[in-house]
Amino acid sequence: MTNKEKKIPRLTWIYISGTVFLISTILVVLLIIFSNKLSAYGITSSFYYVILIPLGLCAAAFLFGALNSLAEYTGDAIYGKLKLSGPVVIFCLVVIGGFYFAKPETTFSLTVRTQTSNNKIIDKGFIIAYLGSQGIKREIGENGEVFFADIPSQFLGKEIKFNTNVEGYQMKNSNPISIPDNKIIYLQLEKRKDSTVVRGTVIDSNGNTMSNILIDFDSGLASATTDATGKFIVTIPRPIGSSILLMASKNGKIGYNDYVTIPENNSLIINFK
């Protein structure tokens, strides 16, 4: 005579699913509170996936233990047919469905607004944001704003360097700026003093002009991008005859990094290697 297997009461399943749901809720609250830090370390998706596991267990325990529900899935897999039945179906639906249909954002958008001491709206020029070794250049809009889209979430809360290319103006403070929670940054501009307009051309080893080359003076002091003919023009807050570090790069590759002297004729030839 065999002993009948003891069946767990429905109320016990309700307690179990309720406890797991409470744990999941606490994890969600922690995700919200520490979202910036998780984004900075690039582990938001990993933490979110951990939350989905107890949520899947909670749903499976409640539907199959408390409500006595049934579920079955049959489908084609890579190496044959896949058949799932019982609580594992709901668990997979919650975990996999939650991860693909409600995946945390891995990028964010940043708004940069220019300001002057007399509240003048700067609506012409460019702003460059430096994300590591990559410089992203955007044109200033009519309202004095620049919109940077698809910035990796790992830069949220981190300090990044900005530079401006605005005729007659320069940044009041060139120190890196930390991206705030509201993702809006204000750049203070002031009129340039002892500035020099510098023109130049970038050529390769064969003497051909090169377009879309990022020209950076003194690690963000002033910058420009070459046009289709390989030429650039930029205003540098330095007098003629000054020695200044110039770096030329394209898509992260540095082809020139050396000191140059601002010439009297304001024209430079940069050999990109």
Common-topology check for domains 107-191 and 196-271:
yes
Cα–Cα dist 195/154, whole Å = 36
213-239 residue pLDDT tens? 999 998 888 899 999 999 999 988 888
81-113 residue pLDDT tens? 655 555 655 566 666 666 565 555 567 888 998
Cα–Cα dist 185/258, whole Å = 31
Minimum mean pLDDT range among 52-61, 146-155, 189-198: 52-61
pLDDT value at position 17?
78
Mutual orientation of helices 44-60 and 87-101 as an angle, nearest 10°? Answer: 150
Residue 9 has pLDDT above 60, yes or no: yes
Minimum mean pLDDT range among 14-23, 66-75, 198-207: 66-75
Which residues neighbour 272 within 8 Å (Cβ) at sequence distance 6 or greater? 202, 203, 204, 205, 210, 213, 248, 250, 255, 256
| 196 in Cβ contact with 235 (< 8 Å) | yes
CB hemisphere CA count around 245 (13 angstroms): 6
| 227 in Cβ contact with 210 (< 8 Å) | no
What is the third-level CATH fold of 196-271? Immunoglobulin-like (2.60.40)
Domain ranges of the chain: 10-101, 107-191, 196-271
Q: Which residue has the higher pLDDT, 247 or 169?
A: 247
In CATH, the number for domain 107-191 is 2.60.40.2070
Single pTM value for the model: 0.43
pLDDT value at position 25?
83
Minimum mean pLDDT range among 85-89, 159-163, 167-171, 194-198: 85-89
Minimum mean pLDDT range among 53-67, 116-130, 157-171: 53-67
| 202 in Cβ contact with 159 (< 8 Å) | no
State what percent of residues in the chain have pLDDT above 90: 18
45-85 residue pLDDT tens? 666 767 777 777 777 777 676 666 665 656 665 666 655 55
233-260 residue pLDDT tens? 998 888 888 889 999 999 889 999 999 9
